[in-house]
A and B are shown apart, each in its own frame.
Chain A
Amino acid sequence: MESTRLILPAAAESIAPFREFVRAGAVEAGIEPEELEKLDLVLEEILINVARYAYAPEKGLVEVRYLADGPGQLRVEIVDSGRVFNPLEADPPDLSRGLADRPIGGLGVFLVRSMVASIDYRREQDRNILSFTFPNHTLA
């Protein structure tokens, strides 16, 4: 199976071109148009984390590749060469807190987990590889 890939700097400005790139894959895979904004969100949250936690204050590149993973399903991999960073190790946010003490942050990974069918992290040859399948068909 051959995947399609795009490599750009890990920066906020790269989110839009990556979004268009992965959306093209989603359309090829036959994913419903109303799912695309959720895919945008998953991608944005992951890319922001790479820029912020795998690289900052340094800069680096990030590679996004995708593969149609059966009808209506897309597999996406996000690869960076930054320091070891597994976003899936983060503690889940406490969603029961009131306004005053509700912590700001931690929601990105929570949303990602909710919106994907599966997600895995691996470290290979000094690279972080986050791999997810989309969409989560059990999500209303």
Chain B
Amino acid sequence: MQIEPTQLEKAVLLKVSGRMDAENAHEFEEACQQWISQGVKHLIADLDGLQYVSSMGLRCFLSVAQKLQPASGSLILCGLHGLPRQVFEMTRLITLFPVFDTAEQALATL
């Protein structure tokens, strides 16, 4: 899994690609935590390059969103497709996140 952060005016964009599994999902949560500690309120996860996510990854997405919520922040998902989209839909987690096709669309809402 690769995580490529870009700092933007109103959010931090994290381009996540590859496979997020039990071995590496914590790296995503740690990367998000680092930005949250710096006061960032909105994180946009661009998942266009994400091929695979298991329940460990889902836990991390949920945990990051739960940390951002009390400060009126959000974890926004975009580019979800393939197996990751399927697991977000099956678990109905998709209803708990703002979801957009592209990062540009997500940014336009902030």
Contact = CB atoms under 8 A, between A and B. Distances in A.
Interface of A: 12-13, 15, 37-38, 40-41, 44-45, 48, 93, 95-96, 98-100, 102, 104-105, 107-108, 110-111, 114
State which size class the interface on B falls in. 20 to 34
Contacts of B23: 12-13, 15
Interface string B12-27: 0000000001110000
Given A99-B66, A104-B59, 13 more contacts: A12-B22, A44-B21, A44-B54, A45-B55, A48-B22, A48-B56, A96-B92, A102-B93, A105-B59, A107-B58, A108-B55, A111-B90, A114-B90
A48 B58 CA distance: 15
B54 A41 contact: yes
Given A105-B59, A111-B87, A40 B52 contact: yes
Contacts of B92: 95-96
A12 B23 CA distance: 6
B54 A45 contact: yes
Contact of A102 (B51, B56, B87, B96): B96
Contact of B55 (A13, A38, A96, A111): A111
B71 interface: no
Interface in B48-102: 51-52, 54-56, 58-59, 62-63, 65-66, 69, 82-83, 87, 90-93, 96
13 contacts: A38-B83, A41-B54, A41-B87, A44-B21, A93-B91, A95-B92, A96-B92, A98-B96, A107-B58, A108-B55, A110-B91, A111-B55, A114-B90
A35 to B, nearest CB: 10
Nearest to A140: B86
Given A37-B51, A45-B55, A108-B54, A15 B22 contact: yes
Contacts of B91: 93, 95, 107, 110-111
Contacts of A102: 62, 66, 93, 96
